[in-house]
Amino acid sequence: MSELEEIRSKAYESARLSKEIAKLVHDRMILRKDFAPSMKVLLYDSRVHLFSAKLRSRWMGPFVVTHAFPSGVVEIQNLANRAKQKVNSQRLKQFLELPIDHDVECLILYELASDY
């Protein structure tokens, strides 16, 4: 009977160690993201869709960050309808815009007819 208890305690200890290692690996893979107010972000759309959309982007937005809580929750505001919502920061990524240069030069090229 004592051998059975010893085997059982070894199994519990092995399971506990395995769970601790899995937790450490999982926590190491999580990226910490810092968001500041007035930063533009994209929101990951995790809903299940009925139709396959391989080529469609799963990111919605852009949204503007209004408040970032220390717990990892971020309050974002939709630019179109000004609706606010709170989301997990792991579902967000920074929206990078290309600078808009209004002074663009236009060069028109004409092809000359060649009479050889």
Residue 73: closest CA among 61, 58, 85: 85
> What is the per-residue pLDDT across 43-89, written as a single tens digit (0 to 9) for each?
998 776 666 667 777 888 799 999 999 888 999 999 888 899 999 98
Q: Which of 30-39, 40-49, 78-87, 94-103 has the highest mean pLDDT?
A: 78-87
Q: What is the pLDDT of residue 116?
A: 57
Structural element, H or E, at residue 4:
helix 2-29
Global pTM value: 0.59
- Per-residue pLDDT band for 113 (boundaries 50, 70, 90) equals low
Dihedral sign for Cα atoms in the order 83, 32, 96, 36: positive
- Residue 73 pairs in a beta bridge with 88
